[in-house]
Structure 1
């Protein structure tokens, strides 16, 4: 067992919450520099060559996503070399409903989804927490065999991953160690744009916040540390990002779809918004975009179906620069 994994304090904290709180607490506690974050983690293989960090959505159901990540690794034949980690971004309601130590990070509402800072036991951006996790995994003394770190999310989790890819600090130590970092973004409700252009016409006067963070780059969180739009765009376009879109995720009235004017300006449904955003990026990088869009046929807004499909397995576990889109998908279920 790797030294770093020994700092996980496992408990039997799984319980049912009231409607307003998370249903299940993750059993692990991962020590960061100044506190702990709830986390689920798979059994560590003898030789860890890839780490899959899978981010839950607004339901904060990290254990469900941990199971889905493990299943995807198993289907792809990668369980013997992949460690799956599922951080859990608890909020104040969760800690009111469950016995949670004062040392465990928690956020207000869904502020963690856009890089907001924790409310206790100290102030830390959810993106800074991800930075720390990734930096640990790149430590060659503790993880000498890691070649790739993949951070993935579906729906609300995909919104987190996309914004983190946009604002995330450079990981120079990873580059020096030869560790590749990939972002897999599956079926988010919206994306962060770099300027005021949008694919759908809308009334600007009736939608004054269309370009405010998290939809645009106005009023960025403190984590952004004064970076300009040009700097963020240049950095983002260089990153290894895979957009994974379900071809059946086309319901404009889906109950979990963001129906704000800010989101509707990006397209009528998740599939359209993803296609529009990818085309927008290609216009920003006319000499050739080093990112990929893969569509999953026969799957709608279904996290398990997306991540365990052949297309999802390819996105999560293939390190090659060019991905071809297979023509089949695998069923599954996972809520947002």
Structure 2
């Protein structure tokens, strides 16, 4: 994980609350967050960036936190950059740093070093919920989706954040892949909402999406994909076959119906249209969803609507929980996506100040 020079422009008061586990010259520093595991005494440690100390002892401001924004990095595992960008947006929004907790989880991946005793994933395995690699930390085999579960449940503990009202999960690119699959598969959304928390997901520019049935975009509508072109096109992380252990036994249409009840906003840059982008997923399973991120996003949004018309249970569910937005004039750029007119409002609320020059957002009705 490399430090972002951009962060050095942030207020010194923000720097002061970080647990220094790297040299001061490598700011921002990550915190070693301890996550409990039900039924286990030990738990495990995981690296995150945050604008408050998370041990609840050295920084008394956790008592004033009303909202948490979990912002997930992309495949470069550069949580520092995502954290720095989110903090700059928070400061510009006019929201109080005492009320908003920004957390950027940073999934260690080979060949990263300096994470002794922590779970480590393959370089891109964490994006889909794969288990941590054997022999890495006390929680080898731990799904990256379970890590987000554990962070969310820790934050929902009223003894730690007694004023918490809202949790936002946001991810761009590889992080968008993780947050999209988390929005579909996670085990805690309903429990969090039952505690009175507002839970929302913001998914921006992922390379691929999780389909609930074997159908894929076709010249007219949706149809079964040609297995001679891609025999495993419906395997997870693109479809319901051969699911990761975290999601074993889940049924596609049941997941779809549950997903509709969760608050999800999909964003795509109108210029994220390069079919040869250097970090675009070019596997045949992803190619079955469309040639570019923009195409794949619009196809998936249409697919959600298409599937709703085929599913009696879904017809009775509210359609207003899901929103689809084009961010105009933006390509594959997390800072401009989250810094857009809609991105700032989604992260920091309707009362947040937005730069007049920020990218406009166009609602899409699939």
Q: Check whether the contact 1:14–1:27 (CA below 8 A) recurs between aligned residues.
A: no
The TM-score normalised by the length of structure 1 is: 0.85
1:128 deviation in Å? 0.7
Larger Rg: 2
Query: For 2:22, what is the secondary structure of its paired residue?
Result: coil
2:115 corresponds to: 100
Match of 1:40 in 2: 49
Kindly state the Cα deviation for residue 329 of structure 1 after the two structures are TM-superposed: 2.9
The CA distance in 2 between the partners of 1:90 and 1:15, in whole Å, is 21
User: Which one of 224, 235, 242 corresponds to residue 212 of structure 1?
Assistant: 235
1:198 partner SS: strand
Counterpart of 2:80 in structure 1 is 63
Kept in 2, the 8 Å contact 1:200–1:266? The answer is no
Say if 2:67 is the partner of 1:50: yes
**1:3 aligns to what?**
none
Q: 1:192 and 2:210 equivalent?
A: yes
2:338 maps to 1:307? yes
Query: What corresponds to 1:11 in structure 2?
Result: 21
Distance 1:133 1:69, change over 3 A: same
Give the secondary-structure state (helix, strand or coil) at the position aligned to 2:217: coil
Q: Residue 223 of structure 1: SS of its match in structure 2?
A: helix
CA gap of 1:278–1:172, structure 2 versus 1, over 3 A, is closer
Which whole-Å CA distance do the structure 2 matches of 1:294 and 1:14 have between them? Answer: 40
Tell me how far apart the structure 1 counterparts of residues 356 and 287 of structure 2 sit (CA, whole Å).
29
Larger CA deviation: 275-284 vs 44-53: 44-53
Shift of 1:144: 1.3
Q: Distance in 1 between matches of 2:308 and 2:299?
A: 14
How much has 1:232 moved relative to structure 2?
1.4
CA distance in 1, matches of 2:172, 2:119: 22
| Counterpart in the other structure of 1:298 | 329
CA positional deviation for 1:231: 2.1
Structure 1 residue 223 corresponds to structure 2 residue 246: yes
Counterpart secondary structure, 1:207:
coil
State the structure with bigger RCO (CA 8 A, min sep 6), 1 or 2.
Answer: 1
For 1:266 and 1:77, locate their aligned partners in 2 and report how far apart those are by CA, in whole Å: 39
Does the CA-based 8 Å contact 1:297-1:327 persist in structure 2? no
Give the TM-score normalised by the residue count of structure 2: 0.78
**Alignment equivalent of 1:30, drawn from 7, 29, 33:** 33
Aligned length: 308
Q: Deviations over 1:5-46 (max 9, x none)?
A: xxx853125899xxxxxxx99521110122111111113756
Any gaps of 5 or more consecutive residues in structure 2?
1-17, 37-42, 54-60, 220-224, 310-314, 361-366
Aligned mates of 1:25, 1:13 — CA distance in 2? 9
Whole-angstrom distance in 2 between the partners of 1:14 and 1:261: 44
- Are the counterparts in 2 of residues 26 and 88 from structure 1 also a CA contact under 8 Å? no
CA displacement at 1:296 relative to structure 2: 1.0
